Structure 1
Amino acid sequence: MSHPLLQRRRVYLMRHGSVTYFDAAGKPFLPESVPLNEAGRLQATAAGQAFADQQLRFDRVIVSGLPRTVETARRVLAETGQQIAIEEWPELAEIRGGRLSSIPDAQLHEAFTGAFNGVVAEERQFLGGESVGELMDRIHPALRRLRDDAGWDTVLLVLHGGVNRAILSYALTGQRLFLGNLAQTAGCINALDVGAAEQDWVVRFANYSPPAPLQTANRSTTMEQLLEQYKKSRQLSQQNK
């Protein structure tokens, strides 16, 4: 006896386009307010063109509310030509760091990269701030709320590197795990299908970057790059003492 094929719904999960977190001297900008930089705008537009080429239509578009996610979503929709409200879910904001100045020099590398290295312990803090466990406490209920709404078939989520890792980790394992080494290039697209059962996830593809699909220029992680930028500020500060 044949069985009907399952009809899963589709989640397109994006990371926002590139932003500038530090100035030329390594001084940090407020991460809550940074807009897309020129590269980020190009990445968001390229993602929108990829969706437009496939004539994709979204039933819902959800962002964290931070400017970089809102701007990315708007640029995507500008390319698809779809007029749809952008929903802001603050619980999907990026994992929150602490005060960079309070981190000793010897602990900088671990503070910047430790939360994105292998299977990450829940108590691991990001830059001395929010822990991975606290991040998952926010993300998992939001996922359930989204899936409990039967009124959509295709949704676009425009979120953040750490948040996307939490979502992909749960989809891949069905467990409360955080896989830190799932790369999320700025402006990338992931595709996940969800069924009716809680554990019914299918990851179709991950970290697709429309401007550079083969990502030949990427060998370091985002946090490794940010660490090098921040070191400039700390070195200048120590020299001026």
Structure 2
Amino acid sequence: MSSLPSQRRRIYLMRHGSVSYFDEAGKPFLPESVPLNEQGRQQAHAAGKVFAQKQIKFDRVIVSGLPRTVETAKAVLAETGQQIALEVWPQWEELRGGKLAAISDAQLKDAFVGAFEGVVSEDKQFLGGEAIGEFMDRIHPGILQLRSDPDWDCVLLVLHGGVNRAILSYALTGQRLFLGNLAQTAGCINVLDVGSEAQDWVLRVLNYSPLSELQDESRTTTMETLLEQYKKSRGVRAA
């Protein structure tokens, strides 16, 4: 690896593949344990094939430890043929919601989508649970920890939609901001380069989806879709 101070290193930042958070009746599964669904497995292997075609080699692979990130990372590595032990960083688990049953019908929309609209206030809660400020408190130190370690040149991070937004927001602004409307499609790939200076970030690729390059299937967000699924369990009319 070059010792030149201007040499940038490469971060491939993925969101895990698609999972099913609710059953057909809109009742939630435990988010900490949901596996990839069939579409999610296809997305993960498709991402792996992109890396394999470009002969990209990772020095490290980091996941949050939640099954959906582990399964996605393993599928990617299976396609690239690399045998790399996954590093588990639990501080990069997804935004933690509260109890859905405690959210009134009138508050449902804001609880689901409010944390992903524009520049988000630090006191905004996700699903009545963790606030964005608390979330950034545990995400940002990991960014600094990764960048301070000189023993890698190319790393794959397989994380979550909210976590990726926090990392991308920091990379784009250099500030403690959360840009909620940065789309992160299931199984997507972001590409960032980082230099030795704190503000030296270059965003190369954002939200690239190998199975849907133009993302023309839908114009709704993930949380808007999940909101409509959950409404079924309450008998709330879909929007």
TM-score band, normalised by shorter chain: over 0.9
Trace 1:187-206 onto structure 2 (pairs within 5 A): 187-206=187-206
Query: CA–CA distance in 1 between the matches of 2:132 and 2:217?
Result: 29
Question: Is 2:180 the counterpart of 1:175?
Answer: no
- The match for 1:163 is 163
Please report how far the alpha carbon of residue 101 of structure 1 lies from its aligned counterpart in structure 2 after TM superposition: 0.5
Please report how far the alpha carbon of residue 61 of structure 1 lies from its aligned counterpart in structure 2 after TM superposition: 0.0
- The match for 1:144 is 144
Q: Is the 8 A contact 2:6 2:196 kept in 1?
A: no
Trace 1:34-49 onto structure 2 (pairs within 5 A): 34-49=34-49
Trace 1:1-241 onto structure 2 (pairs within 5 A): 6-235=6-235
> SS where residue 109 of structure 2 aligns?
helix
Please report how far the alpha carbon of residue 199 of structure 1 lies from its aligned counterpart in structure 2 after TM superposition: 1.1
Query: CA–CA distance in 2 between the matches of 1:51 and 1:69?
Result: 17
Q: Superposition RMSD on alpha carbons, in Å? A: 1.0
Please report how far the alpha carbon of residue 5 of structure 1 lies from its aligned counterpart in structure 2 after TM superposition: 8.8
Partner deviation per Cα, 1:18-65 (whole Å, 9 max, x = no partner): 000000000000000000000000000000000000000000000000
Question: One-letter code of the match for 2:197?
Answer: A
Counting aligned pairs with the same residue, the percent is 73
Partner deviation per Cα, 1:163-204 (whole Å, 9 max, x = no partner): 000000000000000000000000000001000011110000
Please report how far the alpha carbon of residue 212 of structure 1 lies from its aligned counterpart in structure 2 after TM superposition: 1.0
Partner deviation per Cα, 1:71-120 (whole Å, 9 max, x = no partner): 00000000000011100000000000000000011110011000000000
Question: Could you list the runs of 5+ residues in structure 2 that have no partner in the other structure?
Answer: none
Query: CA–CA distance in 2 between the matches of 1:22 and 1:184?
Result: 19
Query: CA–CA distance in 1 between the matches of 2:205 and 2:81?
Result: 24
- The match for 1:239 is none
**Relative to structure 1, is the Cα distance of residues 138 and 5 closer, same or farther in structure 2, using a 3 angstrom cutoff?**
closer
Query: CA–CA distance in 1 between the matches of 2:46 and 2:218?
Result: 18
Query: CA–CA distance in 2 between the matches of 1:218 and 1:132?
Result: 27
Query: CA–CA distance in 2 between the matches of 1:212 and 1:224?
Result: 19
Question: Could you list the runs of 5+ residues in structure 1 that have no partner in the other structure?
Answer: 237-241
Query: CA–CA distance in 1 between the matches of 2:86 and 2:107?
Result: 39
Q: Is the 8 A contact 2:116 2:181 kept in 1?
A: yes
Give 4+ residue runs of structure 1 displaced > 6 Å after superposition: none
Query: CA–CA distance in 1 between the matches of 2:75 and 2:167?
Result: 23
> SS where residue 235 of structure 2 aligns?
helix
Q: Is the 8 A contact 2:5 2:196 kept in 1?
A: no
Normalised by the size of structure 2, how large is the TM-score?
A: 0.96
Query: CA–CA distance in 1 between the matches of 2:218 and 2:196?
Result: 37
Normalised by the size of structure 1, how large is the TM-score?
A: 0.95
